[in-house]
A = this chain, B = another copy of it.
Amino acid sequence: MTNEIDINNPLVNILSPKSIAILGASNNPFKMGTMQFLNLLYSGFSGDIFPIHPEEKNVFGIKAYPSINSLPYAPDMAMLVVPPKLVVNMIDEFGKIGTRYAVIITAGFKETGEEGIKREQDLIETANKYGFRFLGPNCMGLINTRLPLNITATPVLGLPGNLSLASQSGTYIAQTTLYLQKNGIRLNKAVSVGNEANIDLTDCLEYFGNDIDTKAIGLYIECIRRPEKFLEVARKITKNKPIVAQYVGGTEAGSRAGSSHTGSMAGPDYIYNGLFEQAGVIRVNTIEEVYCIGNALALQPKLKGNRIGILTNSGGPGTAIASTLDSNGLEIPTFSENLQEKIKPLIAGYASSKNPVDLTFHVDMSVLTKSLPKAMIESDEIDGLIVHGIIDTGWAELAFPVFQKFFGVTLEKLRDNFKTDVSEFVKMPFINDKPVLVSSFFGLEDNAVVNFHEHGIPVFNSPEKAAFTMAKMYQYAQISNRPQISEEYQKRVIPENALKIMSKSSDTGMDEYLAKKILREYGINTCEETLATSLDEAINAAKVIGYPIVLKGCSPLINHKTEQGLVYLNITNNEDLKGAWESIEKKAGNIPRLVCRMVKGDRELIAGIVRTGTFPPCVMLGLGGIFAEALDDKTIRFAPLTEYDALSMLKSLKSNKIFESYRNMNPIDKKSISSLLISLGNISIDFPQIKEIDLNPIIIENGIPKVVDALFVL
């Protein structure tokens, strides 16, 4: 992944135009278009701005033009905040004069029913005539704090940063800037994608991946429209840049609400979880987490290990941080005697130097901001640091009513009294290349908090959030350490016999015998078995395979053998075999029967292929046996799978422990299960005519997964 922008990405121009024409701005300040125009002016955009208005001669001092045709030249970008019925024509006119990019704020398209769907289709076709690329419709604009450029309805507050956002909700781009400023969230670029009629979330991702000012990416997602491309793009990016995403379409209610919002079709949580895991995307549950965790990842050095130091002036927050870190898999190492000896002289005799280092109530802030964090972060015993309790002028704000009453001091004077020097502290993460997060119950009234924001130290308004963010930083460390994807895994030839069987099956249909033959062609272990068309053949087969055996009716027309009583397990002799043979005859007539070795194992898996919506084929792995439905323990990845993907599927199962050395059972053979999953993915790619594959059960016999039953749905 280079840091060069792909010049074909439409956001190159849309986020950095040199000239903008705007329709919908006037001298009436209470119009949305006017607000966006004023924000554009206020943002300091240095290119040409052309308001177009049929009557106004100028808009807030900027010369206005009566029509698109009257513009002095074709602007790089058009911005439309006009009634929906005007949009298509305007795009056509811009197309004619040579403009090729637009941001369409106007709502009233796909999200509003039949008429809107037609209008959106017209819009797409008109744009396509010219190779026009546009954001929206039904979006809230975009922000580029580096150009600078802001065409949302609110001004950007605070300092530029390194977090870039793409959102299917305009609110999270255009109405939270005050909230972001108060919380020290520093944006680089932000895009509201609206209906994604032309430019979608994946385009944004691709752009951010190549943008050098973007150090972390935050996404609000109701639906991913091009999942295959999303996976390809995100997987490359996450090697070097973290992506934090909230997905709200996975529940029934979330999917329903999202559909009436942006007309999106969502997918179930387990599909999206698989997508995110495969892509290395960090999934979070709230927009606050998108902002705060994304911001911390954008601002701070990468966390390189899982050992965290905790420095606090209060036991409660320190303990809460320790507990949250621990339950998220991080370590809070007890410090060595050596390090403790360095710490002890800096703290009270009864205070703890072990980690958490707890100063207990302490008035002199310099210990908390200088000597102690320095000693801790410089040691090689921790990889990251969380500090709670630095208070600066916030204390003045808190105590002001009392000081005012008893001493008559002004707030300003009191604030002066409480100044704390954090200039050394704010450099520590960058000098030591280790992340430092701060927990504080104070906000912008506290000068230290303002300082932290300015210097890129993330501040969290509760101890647990700082700890949880550190845990997510560790999750990212593991994501970025994943093996690079080699292109090797896609270079294969389709096994010739598999092709033959498939082509034959188009006449005969696909029965279990043929399905398993194909599996074996792909190197997947099945039970040993023979197709018998007479009892004699069956008896011979049993002799070769060895008792105990299983006898099953085998026909492409019968999919639910067990339910129809066509499966006889654990047959130990010819006599019983004969009985079973005749029973099947009675129920299903003279169909062929499969004679299979009775595989005995201690654990079961299920696996398969599902095709859903616009997603690539999903390879599914789940816990089998009696607990399968009750625990609903399954995971998916999209074909084709890498070995890393396949192995991570096993790890993703909640019940993964039982597939390790467990209760004197052999661990499952990793090579076998991963090649089984990879092969399943390959089959789904090689034969798009297979709608579904269901391998259930796969019995683990001496550590080796053996497919005992297989169903291909064509």
Chain A contacts to B: CB under 8 angstroms = 29-30, 32, 35, 38-39, 41-42, 60, 107-108, 111-113, 116, 154-155, 157, 167-172, 175-179, 182, 220, 222, 246, 248-254, 256-258, 260-262, 285-288, 310, 314-320, 322-327, 331-332, 334, 349-350, 352, 354, 356, 358, 360-361, 363, 394, 397-399, 401-403, 405-407, 441-443, 445, 461-465, 602-603, 626-627, 629-631, 654-655, 657-658, 662-663
Interchain CB contact (< 8 A) of A175 among B167, B441, B461, B662 = B441
Decide: B318 and A257 in contact? CB cutoff 8 A.
yes
Shortest CB distance A653–B (Å): 10
Q: How far is the CA of A262 from the CA of B603 in the complex (A)?
A: 47
Which of B41, B154, B286, B464 meets A285, CB within 8 Å?
B464
Contacts of A318 in B (CB 8 A): 257, 261
User: What CA separation (Å) do A32 and B363 show in the bound complex?
Assistant: 9
The verdict on A626 contacting B654 (CB below 8 Å), with A169-B315, A314-B170 known, is no
Q: A662–B179 contact, CB under 8 A?
A: no
Give complex CA distance A316, B219 in Å.
12
A287 to B314 alpha-carbon distance, docked (Å): 14
Show 12 A/B contacts (Cβ-Cβ < 8 Å), sorted by A.
A112-B349, A155-B402, A157-B398, A168-B316, A182-B443, A248-B320, A253-B322, A257-B323, A257-B356, A258-B319, A260-B315, A262-B315
The reply to whether B316 and A394 contact each other, CB–CB distance below 8 Å, is no
* Nearest CB in chain B: distance from A380 CB, A: 20
Whether A464 contacts B287 by the Cβ 8 Å rule is yes
Residue with the highest number of chain B CB atoms closer than 10 Å, among A258, A403, A627: A627
Q: Which residues of B contact A655 (CB under 8 A)?
A: 627, 630-631
The 9 closest A-B pairs by CB, nearest first: A169-B316, A261-B315, A254-B323, A112-B350, A251-B326, A253-B326, A630-B657, A171-B314, A248-B323
Complex-state Cα separation, A397 to B176, whole angstroms: 12
Smallest CB–CB gap between A260 and chain B, Å? 4
Please report the C-alpha to C-alpha distance between residue A112 and residue B347 in the assembled complex, in whole angstroms: 13
Residue from B169, B323, B352, B461 in contact with A314 in the complex, judged by beta carbons closer than 8 Å: B169
From B42, B116, B316, contact of A261 by CB (8 A):
B316
Chain B residues, Cβ within 8 Å of A179: 441-442, 461
Please state if A253 and B398 are interface contacts (CB–CB under 8 Å). Answer: no
With a cutoff of 8 Å between Cβ atoms, the chain B residues found around residue A111 in the complex are 350
When distances are taken between beta carbons in the complex, the residues of chain B under 8 Å from A176 are: 441
Interchain CB contact under 8 A, B246 and A107:
no
The number of times this chain is found in the oligomer is 2
Are B322 and A251 within 8 A (Cβ)?
yes
Q: Which B residues are CB-close (under 8 A) to A262?
A: 315
List, in ascending order, chain B residues with CB within 8 A of A363's CB: 30, 32
Contact (A402, B38) CB under 8 Å given A176-B441, A314-B171? yes
- Report yes or no: A260 in contact with B316, Cβ–Cβ below 8 A: no
> With the chains together, A28 CA to B253 CA distance in Å?
60
- How far is it, in angstroms, between the C-alpha of A403 and the C-alpha of B356 when the chains are bound? 48
CB-CB nearest in chain B for A30: B363
Say whether A35 contacts B157, CB under 8 Å: no
Q: Which residues of B are found within 8 Å of A603, using beta-carbon distances?
A: 626
Q: Which residue of B lies closest to A313 (CB)?
A: B171
- The smallest beta-carbon distance between A105 and chain B, in angstroms, is 10
Instruction: Looking at the assembled complex, report how far the CB atom of A203 sits from the nearest CB atom of chain B, in whole angstroms.
Output: 19
- A585→B704 CA distance, assembly (Å): 38
Are B261 and A358 in contact, with the CB atoms below 8 A? yes
- CA–CA, A66 and B38, complex, Å: 68
B residues near A171, Cβ cutoff 8 Å: 314, 316-317
